[in-house]
A and B are shown apart, each in its own frame.
Chain A
Amino acid sequence: MATETHGAEHATEGTGLVFHPMDQFIVKPLFGHGDVGLFTITNVTLWLFLAIVAIVLLMVVGTSRRAIVPSRSQSVAELAYGFVYKMVEDVTGKDGLKYFPYIMTLFMFIVFANFLGLIPMSFTTTSHFAVTVPLALAVFIGVTVLGFVKNGPGFLGLFWVSSAPLALRPILAIIEVISYFVRPMSHSIRLAGNVMAGHAVIKVFAGFAALAAVSPISILAITAMYGLEVLVAFIQAYVFTILTCVYLKDALHPSH
């Protein structure tokens, strides 16, 4: 985290265009201009809070009528419920359904954080490693602890591929162990990287829009990227959730 080089500034020199693609990710206090301490209410706090509000609106207020024939918001809530429930059931099996509320929490949070981040001028909480790494670490640590609690030392059988030839097994075990510990890294970087990349690219195109000659193309490109980002916002939440389910399945049934 060296501070001397300002890449963005160098990139803009000579062209007259101003690129600040990373400025949208700055965390700043919501009230006043103080330092960002541990409990400071920042834009992160605001958009996390809005995610809670959105989830409450959909999942609690939307279903408050408990109608047998559902209203629109209630069917969306039921759709989300059924989607994640089926995913957990399909991937981990019946005994994974105990952990369904945790996985539902992850999915709802990521989906709403991603979609709220697509509102112009908003702050995307899931674009920060400080948000996705704790999410992925929570999954990783939770799944590992669960695996050892459920299976005891038998959980290590996950790394011992019994279907492979005996000579290959130690090598495969090393690879499996490495890939196991890479999991939280790829899990978190995939989410944050995708979201950050999309937002930064949109910002770069927005920088080109200042140039009158290319501004129509740039606005068209922003529109196209935005459509792609809507897709990515959902798919990344889906992928994060389904990978959580896959890791959970490994913890519950470690034998290959």
Chain B
Amino acid sequence: MAVEPYQEELAGTCVDAGGSAIGMPQLCGDWVGNQVFWLIITLVVIYFILARVALPRIASVLAERQGTITNDIAAAEDLKSKAQDAEAAYDKALADARTEAHAIAQRARDDIKADLDVEKAHADAEISAKAAESQKAIDAIRASALENVEIVAKDTAAAIVAALGMSADEAKINAAVDRQLKG
């Protein structure tokens, strides 16, 4: 501290007449009682201020803040689960719609396929009927053609025999032509 002019009677065992310390002021026994007395008062006052007012207040504020934060987190958690529910519902609706669409498409496909099969069978039957008819016609034509060949051959044979100046009866010529045709 500043050096202040001290009165002569103040100069004691620890402070000289000029106001300077003699030795270490920390070791001056004259002052210890005073310091300890005021220190104890100070500590007791601080203790009661802290223990009765300040610390419970700060503890309650901290607890309240912790509670608020916890509540907020819980609310956020709630909202999040709601959002997740909504998302799940949406997903479900989407999946349902998709399966339904699949079902509808499948049904349409099946219907078409059935129609197609009926038509195909019908067409097949028609075609085979026509084919059989054609075959029959071809067979008839072929049979008539064979018959015509036989007649032509017999006539030709008779004509050739006549041209050769020979006469042969009809039965012989027919038998020879038949033999040739079979052979």
When chains A and B are docked, how far (Å) is the Cα of A44 from the Cα of B42?
11
Give chain A nearest CB distance to B46 CB in angstroms: 5
Q: Does A228 contact B (CB under 8 A)?
A: no
Does B38 contact A121, Cβ atoms closer than 8 Å? no
Q: Does B167 contact A (CB under 8 A)?
A: no
Q: Does B31 contact A (CB under 8 A)?
A: yes
In terms of DSSP, what is the predominant structure of the interface of chain B? helix
Q: Which residues of B contact A52 (CB under 8 A)?
A: 42, 45-46, 49
Interface size on A, residues (CB 8 A): 65
When chains A and B are docked, how far (Å) is the Cα of A225 from the Cα of B105?
89
Does B39 contact A48, Cβ atoms closer than 8 Å? yes
Q: Which residues of B contact A42 (CB under 8 A)?
A: 31, 34, 38
Q: Which residues of B contact A127 (CB under 8 A)?
A: 26
A-B pair count, CB < 8 Å, reads: 174
Q: Mark A45-89, 1 if CB is under 8 A from B, else 0.
A: 100110110011001100100111010001001100110000000
Does B14 contact A26, Cβ atoms closer than 8 Å? yes
When chains A and B are docked, how far (Å) is the Cα of A81 from the Cα of B53?
13
Given contacts A68-B68, A81-B58, contact A22 B50 (CB under 8 A): no
When chains A and B are docked, how far (Å) is the Cα of A36 from the Cα of B34?
7
Q: Which residue of B lies closest to A25 (CB)?
A: B25
Q: Which residues of A contact B14 (CB under 8 A)?
A: 26
When chains A and B are docked, how far (Å) is the Cα of A56 from the Cα of B65?
23
Q: Which residue of B lies closest to A61 (CB)?
A: B54
Most buried by A among B15, B20, B58: B58
Q: Does B21 contact A (CB under 8 A)?
A: yes
Q: Which residues of B contact A109 (CB under 8 A)?
A: 42-43, 46
Does B21 contact A26, Cβ atoms closer than 8 Å? yes
Does A104 contact B7, Cβ atoms closer than 8 Å? no
When chains A and B are docked, how far (Å) is the Cα of A250 from the Cα of B15?
43
Q: Does B163 contact A (CB under 8 A)?
A: no
Does B42 contact A37, Cβ atoms closer than 8 Å? no
Does B50 contact A134, Cβ atoms closer than 8 Å? no
Q: Which residue of A lies closest to B24 (CB)?
A: A22
When chains A and B are docked, how far (Å) is the Cα of A5 from the Cα of B32?
22
Does B26 contact A192, Cβ atoms closer than 8 Å? yes
Does B43 contact A105, Cβ atoms closer than 8 Å? yes
Q: Which residues of B contact A22 (CB under 8 A)?
A: 21, 23-25
Q: Does A196 contact B (CB under 8 A)?
A: yes
Give chain B nearest CB distance to A58 CB in angstroms: 9
Q: Which residues of B contact A81 (CB under 8 A)?
A: 55, 58-59, 62
Does B35 contact A128, Cβ atoms closer than 8 Å? yes
For A56, give its contact among B2, B28, B49, B68 (CB under 8 Å).
B49
Q: Does A169 contact B (CB under 8 A)?
A: no
Give chain B nearest CB distance to A118 CB in angstroms: 14
Q: Mark B38-73, 1 if CB is under 8 A from A, else 0.
A: 111111011101110111011111101100100000
For A23, give its contact among B3, B30, B35, B49 (CB under 8 Å).
B3
Does A78 contact B58, Cβ atoms closer than 8 Å? yes
Give chain B nearest CB distance to A83 CB in angstroms: 12
Does B43 contact A36, Cβ atoms closer than 8 Å? no
For B20, give its contact among A20, A60, A104 (CB under 8 Å).
A20
When chains A and B are docked, how far (Å) is the Cα of A34 from the Cα of B11?
10
Q: Does A27 contact B (CB under 8 A)?
A: yes
Residues of B whose CB lies within 8 Å of any CB of A are 1-3, 6-7, 9-10, 12-16, 19-43, 45-47, 49-51, 53-55, 57-62, 64-65, 68
A2-B23, A25-B26, A59-B50 given. 10 additional CB < 8 A pairs? Answer: A6-B22, A22-B24, A27-B34, A28-B15, A43-B1, A44-B31, A45-B34, A100-B55, A109-B46, A135-B39
